[in-house]
A and B are shown apart, each in its own frame.
Chain A
Amino acid sequence: DTGVSQDPRHKITKRGQNVTFRCDPISEHNRLYWYRQTLGQGPEFLTYFQNEAQLEKSRLLSDRFSAERPKGSFSTLEIQRTEQGDSAMYLCASSPFYQETQYFGPGTRLLVL
């Protein structure tokens, strides 16, 4: 059990560019979550997968955001046409079906210039 991993850890991009983040959950955790955290605030929920099915999406997830979990293992979060307001820490978490505790990864810090 190596924990939740995220890649990259840091990303700097120019406004208007597309970015993609990857999350590898803990092995055999069938639930996967994405959150966004800005400085001084708690994380805000973006979306939730159970296996490969995306079961819940926040209104924060505008049409520029898309998340996938094609084989029910790793997940990707893509942001198209990035804006300066997208600058934040993007956190991924996972949990097994039999437990409510969410285990968080180290996050990907995005800076949009």
Chain B
Amino acid sequence: KQEVTQIPAALSVPEGENLVLNCSFTDSAIYNLQWFRQDPGKGLTSLLLIQSSQREQTSGRLNASLDKSSGRSTLYIAASQPGDSATYLCAVGLTDTGRRALTFGSGTRLQVQP
């Protein structure tokens, strides 16, 4: 059974700092890995999707990397802003044909202090 772990569970940083969020998964036979952002009481917003054949994806101040063999992904946020405060979730998709379920970690709750 695939298990996804995110460390740390919570993080508080001053504005402007660069930071790294970590995600690990137990089964390396994944189809893709996605990073989401969730604001309190709201749905999820997709940030980045990395296919299993890719090593990284970038969008603006965000960079996500994937090391499938070691079962790890990182989300790098450059020059953090108070508006980045949210919970960040990673999710992996399986390779089984036709299966589309995502397995999520519990998230990292980020607070960026102004």
Q: Measuring CB to CB, which residues of chain A are less than 8 angstroms from any residue of chain B?
A: 4, 31, 33, 35, 40-45, 48, 55-56, 58, 91, 93, 95, 100-107, 109
Contacts and interface: CB of A to CB of B under 8 A. Distances in A.
Given A48-B100, A100-B32, A100-B49, A42 B89 contact: yes
B43 A42 contact: no
Nearest to A105: B43
B94 to A, nearest CB: 10
A95 to B, nearest CB: 8
A102 B4 CA distance: 18
A48 B43 contact: no
Interface stretch (B13-21, B68-76, B77-85, B103-111): B103-111
A56 B107 contact: no
Given A56-B98, A100-B34, A106-B42, 13 more contacts: A35-B102, A41-B106, A42-B4, A42-B89, A42-B104, A42-B106, A43-B44, A43-B91, A45-B101, A93-B44, A95-B100, A101-B34, A109-B41
A55 B93 CA distance: 15
Contacts of A43: 44, 89, 91, 102, 104
Contact of A44 (B31, B99, B104): B104
B6 to A, nearest CB: 8
Contacts of A48: 100-101
A4 B46 CA distance: 13
Contact of A42 (B93, B100, B105): B105
B45 interface: yes
B4 A104 contact: no
The 3 lowest CB-CB distance pairs between A and B, nearest first, are A42-B104, A45-B101, A104-B43
Interface in B17-50: 31-32, 34, 36, 41-46, 49
Contacts of A93: 44
